[in-house]
Structure 1
């Protein structure tokens, strides 16, 4: 059953049509499905893409078969499915299309759905229509079609996508900020927005987080992480990013992980832990005496719930850190110049310290989440000189305002819901690396 009519991009998978005498019947079925879908609604101007074209031996039949549809058809001659689908995604993003109809065969559908999982996100709404398939491709004693990919197929698709993305040129050069307060026995940094392959303006280009609500897919983010690691000296398998919930749960590595957590602590060598930020604060904690590290993701909710202090407490209780030895670095985040909250929420920050709230006569005063974090950390036992934030002026700042510096950082406040994400990352070096 073809769904109720709405504007959709249409992807016709010619790789699903066998190169045999059966092809003519398949083409007729294919054309019939498309004609049924479009009906008389030629005014909708939906983009139509043909993929898998090079696999056809009888290419002469194609123009005659599809010309009757009276649609502008884009033939993608890429031999790799990943390249064709990535080209389609880029064009649809430029047109602000999210609804995609795929016409293919039943067995090809499960393969294309794996590509969809890697190269798209749930923002895009896919519908699949299947057409006839050459019965000779199935075991005569077993006519059932597969419903899941085997492990080899999954590996093949994943490797093809990865290989394709690795060949794409990066946009700009990777630049990482670091703090001179972090001791040399640790490697660390705060990423900026340049040097990756993400192309949508608000995600360009080193976006390091894939969300079901945004347009940057898993495979692209994985490639961006790989490129950052290549420059900084770590491998993707070493990389662990917090599973944010804007709360105060902390995962102690080596123990069972909570379902979600905004902090990680560990004493393991060469394990990279990271916290995201796009206005929220990525905070790095290091203890050079006990050789323990932690990271925290702190938005305004997490700040009020005490995620920074909870991360330090986990370092102390699980690994023997002393608070006076812990160094905290607050990374790029939204400044008090750009961040506002309603009056009820502002009261909670005012109770931490009056200077956390700047009244401007509106219903939403400006809030300083960084100052609140400093105050809470000092109350928890950290030394003032061991906290690097925007109040520190004698060393280069890493606590720049993400909303103000559009050339350097992503920002939810500035860019809206389809925003990118930078990270703060940290690991303990092996002794020979120091």
Structure 2
């Protein structure tokens, strides 16, 4: 498995955008994972008393269209990508990937959860608030892709399919591909039901590596000897329902390895969106009343 690679903040103070260490070697590439900092919105979940307002980049009920437009403009300015067309798909937790070319039209509604292009001046975007954004780069052919992977997209192998699109549509080679898995909800916080666990067990031979099992209520003996009963029920206490925690970052990293990417070229953000209210929106932590981050990637035409 790849080790977690910290995404760097571009300023000493909290930055609107996180970027990937090492990707600055591609001068033609623009990319980033937004945080909640540097915007003009005041979200219901801004309970951290931050000095800056929220950089909400998604169309949510509590925010105005004017604020969202200004926030998106600020993101593009920060990335020095004002001249690029921001492509914002209507995400539906699917495995649908759109390939965009010179015929791209901003008037068209792009419904799906993946975008790919080799066309300059298109800034592909994915919105998240716990799900994982994944950015892909072919450094040789200058091809980029972005996918939105919640548990449904992960179950449908969306990241692996995006690599397949790059290979079969454009001729990408394994050794030229890079991937960045952005901030999302970690295994520390992402509790799922038995039905989700069953679905993954039916699809992936390594599913056991993706889940952590805990007991909903610990007895005194379980608290005293947590390792003893980590995988076995306490025979001296009442039966308590199991709860499962899913590691989506690991699941997607393993899919990218299966797709042929080198471990050294898969960057995984270490931050959990639910654990860091000072940096990220989190749909689960904030009970749905939150904003949206945006992961973006594109090709500059000037290099």
Q: TM-score, normalised by structure 2?
A: 0.77
Matched, 1:423 2:303: no
On the 8 A contact 2:89/2:109 being kept in 1, the answer is: no
On the 8 A contact 1:225/1:236 being kept in 2, the answer is: no
Higher relative contact order (CA 8 A, sep 6+): 2
Q: Which residue does 1:221 correspond to in 2?
A: 68
Q: Which residue does 2:29 correspond to in 1?
A: 186
On the 8 A contact 1:242/1:261 being kept in 2, the answer is: yes
What's the C-alpha RMSD, in Å, of the aligned pairs? 2.0
Q: Which residue does 1:197 correspond to in 2?
A: 40
On the 8 A contact 1:403/1:409 being kept in 2, the answer is: yes
On the 8 A contact 1:352/1:372 being kept in 2, the answer is: no
Stretches of structure 2 lacking an aligned partner (at least 5 in a row): 1-12, 47-52, 216-240
TM alignment of 1:247-396, pairs within 5 A: 247-254=94-101, 260-350=111-201, 351-353=204-206, 354-361=208-215, 362-389=241-268
| Alpha-carbon offset, residue 210 of structure 1 | 0.3
On the 8 A contact 1:176/1:191 being kept in 2, the answer is: yes
| Alpha-carbon offset, residue 319 of structure 1 | 1.7
Q: Any idea what SS the aligned residue of 1:414 has?
A: coil
Count residues with an aligned counterpart.
251
Query: In 2, distance between residues paired with 1:243 and 1:388?
Result: 26
| Alpha-carbon offset, residue 276 of structure 1 | 1.2
Q: Deviations over 1:75-101 (max 9, x none)?
A: xxxxxxxxxxxxxxxxxxxxxxxxxxx
Stretches of structure 1 lacking an aligned partner (at least 5 in a row): 1-171, 390-397
1:363–1:236 Cα change, 3 Å? farther
Q: Which residue does 2:56 correspond to in 1?
A: 207
Q: Any idea what SS the aligned residue of 2:152 has?
A: helix
Query: In 2, distance between residues paired with 1:276 and 1:384?
Result: 26
| Alpha-carbon offset, residue 304 of structure 1 | 0.4
Q: TM-score, normalised by structure 1?
A: 0.55
| Alpha-carbon offset, residue 336 of structure 1 | 0.2
| Alpha-carbon offset, residue 220 of structure 1 | 1.5
Q: Which residue does 2:4 correspond to in 1?
A: none
| Alpha-carbon offset, residue 300 of structure 1 | 0.8
Q: Which residue does 1:239 correspond to in 2?
A: 86
| Alpha-carbon offset, residue 173 of structure 1 | 6.2
Query: In 2, distance between residues paired with 1:283 and 1:377?
Result: 10
